[in-house]
Amino acid sequence: MEQGKFFKEEEKFQPLAHRIRPRSFEELVGLEEIIGENSFLRKAIKRGYLPSLIIYGPPGTGKTTLSLLLAQSIKADFIELNAAIVGISELKDALQKAKRNLEMFKKSTVIFLDEIHHFNKLQQDVLLPWIEKGLIVLIGATTENPFFTLNSTLLSRCRLVELKPLSSEDIRKIIHRALSDKERGLGGQNIILEKEAEDEIIRFASGDARVALNTLELASFIANPDDNGIIRIDLKIIEEVTQKRIFRYDQKGDEHYHVISAFIKSIRGSDPDAAIYWLSRMLLSGEDPRFIARRLLIHSAEDIGLADPMAMLIAQYAAFAVEYIGMPEAQIPLSAATLYLALSPKSNSAVIAINKANEYLKKYGPSPVPIHLRNPSFRGAEELGYGKDYKYPHDYPGHFVEQDYLPEGVKERFYQPSEEGMEKIFKERVKELWKERFGK
């Protein structure tokens, strides 16, 4: 059998997503800003220059394909490695091959490291001199935010390229291309994809082209041809293939931080519906409920605080429920706590107070503890005058007596009470107790 025919036969058994991988920049969908005619990368490769890159974005957005096309555009050798499984020795072999390519054939080498976030600091450091000397072009791909997972020294030597989830229309174009391509796609199978089914594939894919194509291919396998040989894919078949809605949610990736950010901001903004929506999305996506409970505890103090001190207890109960009863039942206490916090009056006076105190101390440094506030319980303290003239508040009417608690010379007012909820009561009390400082 001729070699070319063998490879064509072999391609038939490859997944659809692999078979119809774009062969040119023009076939790329959704990356116009990244590799369009006026983009930095397009201008650079036209001059035969390709910088080292870190490409990050969600799965199925074209990181590997883009990297391969970039290497081809400058006629470079392409070595693909997966950082999750490759060892130092294998990496060094690839680096030596790149060096030989340059020295013997005057040919550049692109080393493509998929999931580069799996490399530890030592492994990342191995790459630095090779990049600096121009011996390799590194393209690292990751689904995680590189600022959290990669060394700053490596980032400083690479250009950052962020890929966004593909839009619904982008996914639709990719589906249509797969259905019409007779050479590499499903164009020769007489498939009719109903609109509802197509929309469900797009919704299920959530911007991931690979998920969309895998779903379409599996649906084409299980759909039976009718008497005319037509394979009709309807909504029922797609629902059978997908079984259950699975949300993309990488617990270490950007989406994780985006969703929890939206959750907390919705509570802070006192929108109960939005807060519950984001809570549900996290739970259905498999987020650790303990992480959610911790965020609720932080939020109850940070954004509600003294406006409703009960909020901290409610959040604490939700955290206890998560540990004590577990999921799925713990979603109810989490829901109750979320709604309570969203509907509570808001105050960030606790945050402002501690931040102001921190700034003051960083600027002026610590002052000596006043003598009357010092611990008088150890031997020799009395001779030093520690605790002398301290007034015990419970010996006075109202269990309060005015005396200096701040160090000498510290006149700063750190606490700024709000008018919200219970804090309004606290504000009146502090104004009554400390007239000179708060009564103005």
Would you say residue 151 has pLDDT above 90? Answer: yes
Mean pLDDT of 378-395: 84
Q: Residue 440 has what pLDDT?
A: 62
Q: Which of 17-31, 262-276, 322-336, 343-357 is predicted least confidently?
A: 322-336
Q: Considering only CA atoms, which of 376, 439, 365, 377 is closest in space to residue 407?
A: 365
| Percent of the chain with pLDDT strictly greater than 70 | 94
Mean pLDDT of 326-330: 80
Instruction: Classify domain 359-438 by CATH number.
Output: 1.10.3710
Residue 288's CB is within 10 A of a number of other CB atoms, namely 13
For 106-130, the pLDDT digits (tens) are 999 999 999 999 998 889 999 999 9
Mean pLDDT of 132-152: 93
* Backbone phi and psi for residue 135, each to the nearest 5 degrees, phi listed first: -80, -25
Three-state secondary-structure class, residue 59: coil
Amino acid, res. 41: L
For 166-220, the pLDDT digits (tens) are 999 999 999 999 999 999 999 999 999 999 999 999 988 888 999 999 999 999 9
Cβ contacts of residue 49 below 8 Å, gap of 6+? 74
Label residue 12 by pLDDT band (50, 70, 90).
Answer: low
Label residue 380 by pLDDT band (50, 70, 90).
Answer: confident
Label residue 5 by pLDDT band (50, 70, 90).
Answer: very low
Domain with CATH 1.20.272.10 in the chain: 254-343
Q: What is the CATH topology of the domain spanning 168-242?
A: Helicase, Ruva Protein; domain 3 (1.10.8)
Q: Residue 30 has which token pair?
A: 């959704």
Query: What is the residue-averaged pLDDT of the chain?
Result: 89
Mean pLDDT of 366-390: 84
| Overall CATH class of domain 254-343 | mainly alpha
Q: Residue 73 has what pLDDT?
A: 96
Residue 230's CB is within 10 A of a number of other CB atoms, namely 12
Query: Which of the two residues, 206 and 226, has the higher pLDDT score?
Result: 226
Q: How far apart are CA 7 and CA 153, in angstroms?
A: 42
Q: Are 27 and 220 in contact (CB under 8 A)?
A: no
Burial string for 194-207 (b: 16+ CB within 10 Å, else e) reads eeebbebbbebbbb
Q: Residue 2 has what pLDDT?
A: 44
Label residue 75 by pLDDT band (50, 70, 90).
Answer: very high
Q: Where are the alpha helices (DSSP H) in 80-151?
A: 88-105, 121-132, 146-149
> β-pairing, 137-142 with 159-162?
unpaired
Label residue 397 by pLDDT band (50, 70, 90).
Answer: very high
Three-state secondary-structure class, residue 110: strand
Quote the pTM value.
0.62
Would you say residue 4 has pLDDT above 50? Answer: no
Report the first-to-last Cα separation within the chain, whole angstroms: 95
Cβ contacts of residue 267 below 8 Å, gap of 6+? 275, 299, 303, 338, 341, 342
Domain with CATH 1.10.8.60 in the chain: 168-242
Q: How far apart are CA 291 and CA 390, in angstroms?
A: 44
Domain with CATH 1.10.3710 in the chain: 359-438
Residue 4's CB is within 10 A of a number of other CB atoms, namely 8
Q: Considering only CA atoms, which of 83, 80, 121 is closest in space to residue 98?
A: 80
For residue 389, count CB atoms less than 10 angstroms from its CB and return exposed for 0-12, middle for 13-18, buried for 19 or more.
exposed
Query: Which of the two residues, 11 and 2, has the higher pLDDT score?
Result: 11
Give me the architecture of the 31-162 domain, per CATH: 3-Layer(aba) Sandwich (3.40)
Label residue 253 by pLDDT band (50, 70, 90).
Answer: low
Helices 272-284 and 254-268 sit at what angle, rounded to 10 degrees? 150
Would you say residue 9 has pLDDT above 60? Answer: no
